[in-house]
Structure 1
Amino acid sequence: MHRRRRRTALLLTATIAAAAPLLTACGNDAHPGAAAVVGGQRITVSQLENRVSEVRDAQRAAVRDDAQYAQAIAQTGTLTRDTLHGMVLDKVIQKAAENAGVTVSRREIQEMRSGLEQQAGGAQGLETAWLQQYGVPPQRIDENLRLQLEAQKLATKLGTDTSQPAFWNTLSTASKELGVDLNPRYGSWDAKKVSRVDVATPWVREVSAGAQGPSAGA
């Protein structure tokens, strides 16, 4: 069960990858002020930047010196795009779960968290593990666990698991229903693959994470 939870977290969390630059853009946006539109609802650039700042603040608080913080930033250079991917995927899973009549209670979230805290040696251990392994800051852990539970319960209802095509086909259907539309500076959304993908955008230039910080703005 622990192995399955870990795999699910890796699949469904806004995972953080190895060193890469942040994106910044100049010029006119097709989505002014919006990082994405999902089901007619906007995920604003400000909301995205706030989520990224939450992770950066947690990383800053978790290390002892500037060198360690710089290393953490270097290891999470695609954080902005990964975070947006996670925010969109969250809405897609919620839609798929809603379509299937799947719900998650507060009690279920707390029970899952209690079990994970025991495995991690306490609340602090869980917070550290989720930040380091999945890029989830402490204040977003319950939200992430709800997402995982929704995915697991949806897979169970479908008679499969979260690694199988039947599960992802269901997410693909929900993704198409929502009509996910990303601001080109962050790539595009592939509804079939249920994933954000990079696109060639001539007016997008790359800058170093150290120079630009966590901002995703123009």
Structure 2
Amino acid sequence: MHRRTALSVSAALLLAAPLLSACSGQARPGTAAVIGGERITTSAVQAQVNDVRAAQNRSEHPSELIAAVPQLDRVKLSGMLQSRILDRMAEDAGISVTPKELEEERQTFENDKGAEAFEATLLQKFAIAPDQIDRWATDQVLFTKLNAKYGQGNLAEPASKAAGKLGIEVNPRYGVWDPQKVSIGDSVTPWITQVTRPEQQPPAGA
């Protein structure tokens, strides 16, 4: 059966306490955000923005794609922070992703849509450039494994604990961290996103 889902950590994970905090305005020069004591530099964010814009400009309708994501730097920084949160959740749960699993995840979607169509879908819907797909696929595998470990819809508590250990500071240039949306400012980028997964074929003889 085909599935089209937009997966997100429940907003309830941050209702009990202010586990994530916005930057007070004292961001170091060249720092877009700090998470887990590590800097995400403005140059790292800009590199992702440049990759997406280059891919959009190679598309058939570049102006439409570019206009659809006017605050791309904020969107990309949100995604980088969200991935770090997911990494910490996986670490706490003793979960990892192997190269084989990553390749299989990509292959699943590429076989269903075709590689070019798959890349175009991610670029159009989620502003993900081709060379950013491995990180996206890693997030999908981790999210699936976390749901298998804790049960579907039961990620609020482990997500809350992981986020509390990390702490987030965001340079005001990019907006304010919104713990309920798990993104920056009014960005509508979902925390973890999935496109249609191909239909699972039953085993032979089933």
Task: Determine the structure 1 residue equivalent to 2:65.
Answer: 72
Q: Alignment RMSD, CA only?
A: 2.1
2:90 is aligned, of 81, 97, 105, to 97
Alpha carbons of structure 1 residues 192 and 75: separation in structure 2 relative to 1, 3 Å: closer
Matches within 5 A, 1:49-128: 49-63=46-60, 68-120=61-113, 122-128=114-120
Partners in 1 of 2:105 and 2:79 — Cα distance?
Answer: 20
- Give 3-state SS (helix, strand or coil) of 2:159's partner: helix
Structure with greater helix percent: 1
TM-score for the superposition, normalised by structure 1: 0.72
Alpha carbons of structure 1 residues 169 and 78: separation in structure 2 relative to 1, 3 Å: farther
| TM-superposition CA deviations, 1:106-127 (whole Å, max 9, x none) | 111111111111110x211211
Query: Could you tell me whether the CA contact under 8 Å between 1:37 and 1:182 is conserved in 2?
Result: yes
Partners in 2 of 1:194 and 1:72 — Cα distance?
Answer: 24
Cα distance, 1:191 vs. partner? 4.1
2:182 is aligned, of 186, 189, 194, to 194
Greater Cα shift, 30-39 or 44-53: 30-39
| TM-superposition CA deviations, 1:19-60 (whole Å, max 9, x none) | xxxxxxxxx863311000011111001110110110000011
- Structure 1: give runs of 5+ residues left out of the alignment: 13-27, 199-218
Partners in 2 of 1:51 and 1:186 — Cα distance?
Answer: 14
2:137 is aligned, of 135, 139, 145, to 145
TM-score for the superposition, normalised by structure 2: 0.75
Number of aligned residue pairs: give it: 171
Cα distance, 1:193 vs. partner? 5.0
- Structure having greater relative contact order (Cα 8 Å, sep ≥ 6): 2
- Structure 2: give runs of 5+ residues left out of the alignment: 10-24, 187-206
Share of identical aligned residues, percent?
Answer: 38
- AA aligned to 1:3 is R
Alpha carbons of structure 1 residues 191 and 148: separation in structure 2 relative to 1, 3 Å: same
Runs of 4+ residues over 6 Å off in structure 1: none
Task: Determine the structure 2 residue equivalent to 1:3.
Answer: 3
